[in-house]
Structure 1
Amino acid sequence: MTVEQEFFNQYRLMYRPFINQLNVQLETYQLYSSQWAVLRFLKDKGPHSFVDIANFMSIEKPSVTKLVHKLVELGYVETVVGKDKREKLVHLSTYGEELVQEIKSQLSPFFEQALAGVPQQDIEIATQVLARICMNINQ
């Protein structure tokens, strides 16, 4: 196996168990990892359209619509009409803002455990490597 194949094999072997465990952590909040990704995106980047969220997550707009509707139902986000009346913007509700902070605190030990024994410098390098791979794939 080449070093490239081994890299992606290790990534694959890590990804599903990580997402499964993340979903267990989020279960308390009636969330899945994809919904959590939307909440984090809105927290980090502010209000965005359904199309922006779809592009960020590399998924189809109907999937975003389903995700957002569930988050609205839970009271975590709200939608408002954008500058163009045909466009809806999604933003965190006041409750959603508080919840994101709570979940981040709750997930911190999980992330620390997952990265136990990995030097900070290696985490930073791996983050840069994964970001570069993402850019290469999306070109």
Structure 2
Amino acid sequence: MLYRPFENRLNLELGKHDLYRAQWSILYYLFNNGSATHVEISNYLSVEKPTVTRTITRLEQQGYVEHIPGKDRREKRMQLTELGKAKYLEVRVTVDQYEEEILKGISVEEQQEVIRIMNDIRKNILK
């Protein structure tokens, strides 16, 4: 009951920047973790590698990510370009505003408790 409305509204906010949630998630991951392989990103997002590959291809076309040399020729590592870093920081403002709006009236303690509970639920699911 919460996921779809959240996702739909987030996509509207991200659409102002010509992005979707999947693209934003990859920008977020690369900004916060540095370079990564498609497999690392697919594991982080819990999606199939072909899905990540399609999304990364679109981000490459937009000039936000680029390939960098890996440990061997088979490894495809990605990193944000300077344009990608700038885009992340620009979109971060919109996402922060959205998060502020949807969390209005919910104390920091309550937010932390929800995060803790959601983490426990996730652990139970992944057992």
Class of the TM-score when normalised by the shorter of the 2 chains: over 0.9
Secondary structure of the equivalent of 2:79? strand
**1:90, 1:45 → 2: CA distance?**
11
Higher relative contact order (CA 8 A, sep 6+): 2
Bigger Rg, structure 1 or 2: 1
**2:82, 2:63 → 1: CA distance?**
9
Task: Give CA deviations for 1:1-42 in whole Å, capped at 9, x if unaligned.
Answer: xxxxxxxxxxxx111011100000111222111111111011
Match of 2:35 in 1: 47
Of residues 75, 84, 104, the one that matches 1:96 is 84
How many residues were matched structurally? Answer: 127
Task: Give CA deviations for 1:32-57 in whole Å, capped at 9, x if unaligned.
Answer: 11111111011111110000001111
Match of 1:15 in 2: 3
Task: Give CA deviations for 1:70-100 in whole Å, capped at 9, x if unaligned.
Answer: 0001111111230121001011110111111
2:109 maps to 1:121: yes
**1:136, 1:44 → 2: CA distance?**
26
In the TM superposition, 1:60-71 aligns within 5 A as 60-71=48-59
Gapped runs of 5+ residues in structure 1?
1-12
Of residues 19, 43, 66, the one that matches 1:78 is 66
**2:58, 2:88 → 1: CA distance?**
16
Gapped runs of 5+ residues in structure 2?
none
- Deviating 4+ runs (over 6 angstroms): none
RMSD over aligned Cα atoms: 1.0
- Name the aligned partner's letter for residue 38 of structure 1: I
**TM-score (ref. length: structure 2):** 0.95
**1:88, 1:121 → 2: CA distance?**
41
